[in-house]
Amino acid sequence: MRKMLAGLVGVGLLVLTGCSGLQEMWEGPSAATFKPKTIAVLPSMVGGYEGAREASQQVLVSALGKTRRYETVVNSDQVNGAFAAKEASDLLAAYYSKLDTTGQSDPGMAIKLGQLVQADALLIPKVNNWEYGRAEGDSFGKVGLGLRLVDANNGALVWKARHDKVKSYMVFKPALKDIAEDLAETMVKQMPK
């Protein structure tokens, strides 16, 4: 009887811990009360996946628009246009550098970024994978994203998550942007409401 009870408790814990559906997810203390009206997806941090910058940003803008949680999802052309000036571009680079190095959002810089793109919230994407591969005889396409949600009014990190999506294929390669669309929709559903 004890073994059965222990097994049921173990299964229950696995079910509860697996509910998020994402590989990693964290919510800050203000996540439950954070209700922005306007959100902007900043240009993606891409590392070695330079070709993914535009596509990853676009799929996230689209996924956010489909949720109907926000009055305005700032389009990617407007966001990217805001960073055309050297001073704005330097601010974004400095913010990303600090965020990537420390894991912390710099409040002063985040507030300035929010003002530049005219948004209450900033979604910061990082492309972790954007590639085709082969393992154990299987060919696959893989897209991995990390997302950080920042309150642009005070610079606080509200939520962050990381997840990958892999699609196997035999003959026809799936478009990585299509895999990214599925991944973006999955991740955006897990953002604070």
Domain 23-189 superfamily per CATH: ABC-type transport auxiliary lipoprotein component (3.40.50.10610)
Q: What is the pTM of this model?
A: 0.87
Q: Give residue limits of the domains in the chain.
A: 23-189
Residue 21: its pLDDT value, please?
A: 83
Task: Report how far residue 187's alpha carbon sits from residue 99's, in angstroms, rounded to the nearest whole number.
Answer: 20
Q: Are 188 and 23 in contact (CB under 8 A)?
A: no
Which residues does the chain have with pLDDT short of 70? 1-20
> What is the DSSP-derived secondary structure letter of residue 100?
H
Q: Are 192 and 28 in contact (CB under 8 A)?
A: no
pLDDT digits (tens, 9 = 90+) for 6-18: 343 333 333 333 4
Residue 164: its pLDDT value, please?
A: 97
Q: Are 50 and 70 in contact (CB under 8 A)?
A: no
Residue 54: its pLDDT value, please?
A: 96
